[in-house]
Amino acid sequence: MTDIRVRAYLMGEPRVIVGGRLVTTTGGRSRDLLVYLITHRETAVHRDVLIDAFWPRARPAAGRNSLHVALAGARRALREVCAEPLIERCGQAYRIRRDAPVWTDADEFERHCRSGLRERDPEAAAGHFEAAGLLLRGGFLADRPYAEWAAPRRESLRALAVQAQSRLVVLYRGRGEYGAAAALARRVLADDPCNEDVHRSLMVCYARTGLRHLALLQYRQLAGLLWADLRVRPAPETTELYERLRRPERMPQPA
């Protein structure tokens, strides 16, 4: 049997590789349809569900025609890299064939994040989080930011990334790797600017490396963000940390 192993890179700009060869579709809908079937490969997807996902305002006949055109384009692109059909029809539904092994970076990313969050050993947890970070090339289907069908998956992966990276910041702090912790904390805050736990970690990292002025500035930035966005003040433990850092004699010493 022809090698029809499928590798789909969905974090960032999507790429689908079948049997070691890149699948190149001529139409955007053909590629999106292929990606949809890959991400929903657990069961066959009814044609009406596909039409509603990609052509929600089309009349029934026009929607079916658009689906057939997109399917034809996806199958044509797949035939260029694999002699055996990858998309199979099941009555009025379609699916990726059951015997085709499928790997996606999104699934692998989620697996590493969840394993790290469950792991009690700090070093093992950090290993999972770092492995997940290597897969994080961007958001889920980053070149389709307005695709409604992808929104729930995109948001769940984004939230999982923030949770995992926030834990990794704490783990780096615990190992005394303040530079790595600070760099990661800044990346988390770029995506989740009101994450108060990460702001506190960043303040500690700055203080531990002798950058007390940046730690104090971080608190003021946080206070401004929380008030502007949520009309709340920083938590008491954050303010207490700020007050300690204002006094040089009580400031954590540089590592």
Residue ranges of domains in the chain, CATH in brackets: 6-103 (1.10.10.10), 176-255 (1.25.40.10)
| Range list of H helices, 136-211 | 151-174, 178-191, 196-208
Q: What does the pLDDT average to over 245-254?
A: 64
Residues 6+ apart with CB under 8 A from 211: none
**Residue written as tokens 């997807």?**
45
| The pLDDT of residue 129 is above 50 | yes
Q: Sorting pLDDT into bands at 50, 70 and 90, what band is 1?
A: very low
User: CA 117, CA 31: separation in Å to the nearest integer?
Assistant: 33
Number of H helices, E strands in the chain: 10, 7
Torsion of CA 28, 17, 71, 107, to 10 degrees: -90
User: What local confidence, expressed as pLDDT, does residue 114 receive?
Assistant: 98
CA 185 to chain centre: 16
Output the average pLDDT for the chain.
94
Q: pLDDT confidence of 247, banded at 50, 70, 90?
A: confident
Q: At what angle do helices 151-174 and 105-118 cross, to 10 degrees?
A: 40
Residues 145-180 have pLDDT tens digits of: 999 999 999 999 999 999 999 999 999 999 999 999
State the DSSP code for 7.
E
Q: Show the tokens assigned to 130.
A: 């770092």
**Can you give the pLDDT at residue 92?**
96
Per-residue confidence at 4, pLDDT binned at 50, 70, 90? confident
pLDDT for the residue 127: 98
pLDDT at residue 252 tops 80: no
> Interhelix angle for 122-135 vs 151-174, to 10°?
140
Percent of all residues in the chain with a pLDDT value above 90, rounded to a whole number? 93
pLDDT grade, residue 26 (50/70/90)? confident
In this prediction, residue 255 carries a pLDDT of 46
